[in-house]
């Protein structure tokens, strides 16, 4: 297997892992929105989850030559549930 093919496979794996992590964090925020947390608790938990998400996704996105958009990092759970 040549280097170009290895890079392509690594890139594909990184993209798949990024998509899986993004889906996981969307699910976390969806579940959080179903809980009856007060605004303060929701805000604190949201910040912890956002830091976790950023820590998980940033290295992958940097390796692929992109970084998370500021809007993506600011998205939290929907309070419309």
Q: Domain for residue 68, yes or no?
A: yes
- Structural domain including 22 reads 3-74
In total, how many domains does the chain have?
1
Q: Domain for residue 80, yes or no?
A: no
**Full pLDDT tens readout for the chain, 81 residues:** 899 999 899 999 999 999 999 999 999 999 998 998 899 999 999 999 999 999 999 998 888 885 454 444 445 444 443
Q: Domain for residue 81, yes or no?
A: no
Long-range contacts, stretch 14-19, CB < 8 angstroms, 24+ apart: 14/60, 14/63, 14/64, 15/64, 17/60, 18/57, 18/60, 18/61, 18/64
Q: Domain for residue 13, yes or no?
A: yes
């Amino acid at each position: 297997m040549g280097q170009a093919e290895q890079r392509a496979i690594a890139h594909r794996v990184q993209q798949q892992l990024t998509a899986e992590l993004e889906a996981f964090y969307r699910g976390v925020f969806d579940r959080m929105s179903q809980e009856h947390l007060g605004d303060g608790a929701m805000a604190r938990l949201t910040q912890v989850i956002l830091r976790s998400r950023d820590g998980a996704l940033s290295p992958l996105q940097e390796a692929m030559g992109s970084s998370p958009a500021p809007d993506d990092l600011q998205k939290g759970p929907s309070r419309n549930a």
